[in-house]
Amino acid sequence: MDIPLVLRRQAGIEPSGTTLPTRESVAWLVRRDGQMAVLRRLDPVLWPAGDSDVHCELKWLHDFLARLGRTSFPAPRPLPLDGERGWTLYQGALWELVSYLPGDVVGWRARPSLAVKSIRVV
């Protein structure tokens, strides 16, 4: 699956050619205004686009990430994809755009390491 041209233009993003592994979506590493970001197409089976609860959960998550981003804690920040929101509905699926943070996602490993790595705050 490729990123639809409509979303590329709407969000001002360019694909980097890298697809990221996820359990609940298809995700791409993209460039926007010279910065790396992550565009995700949420699986419509797990995240039904017409479900108002799903919209509420996504809004809560993006609001939480925006508040967390105002602290010194390194967390992805929602980036406008549809006007001011960091998510939109397109072709029956929900899409979201957040800033990219390099590193490993603990939850995607069968046996995650509990070793502490240094954290660089930008």
CATH number assigned to the domain covering 5-108 = 3.30.200.20
Q: Where are the domains of the chain?
A: 5-108
**54-59 contact pairs (CB < 8 A, 24+):** 54/94, 58/87, 58/94, 58/96, 59/85
CA angle 31, 32, 33 (to 5 degrees): 125
pLDDT in tens, the chain (122 residues): 789 898 898 889 999 988 887 878 889 999 999 999 999 999 999 989 888 899 899 999 999 999 998 998 888 999 988 778 888 889 999 999 999 988 766 565 666 666 665 555 55
pTM: 0.80
Spatial separation of the C-alpha atoms in residues 45 and 106, rounded to whole Å: 24
| Residue 113 to residues 23, 66, 68, 95, Cα–Cα distance (Å) | 19, 28, 24, 30
pLDDT at 110: 65
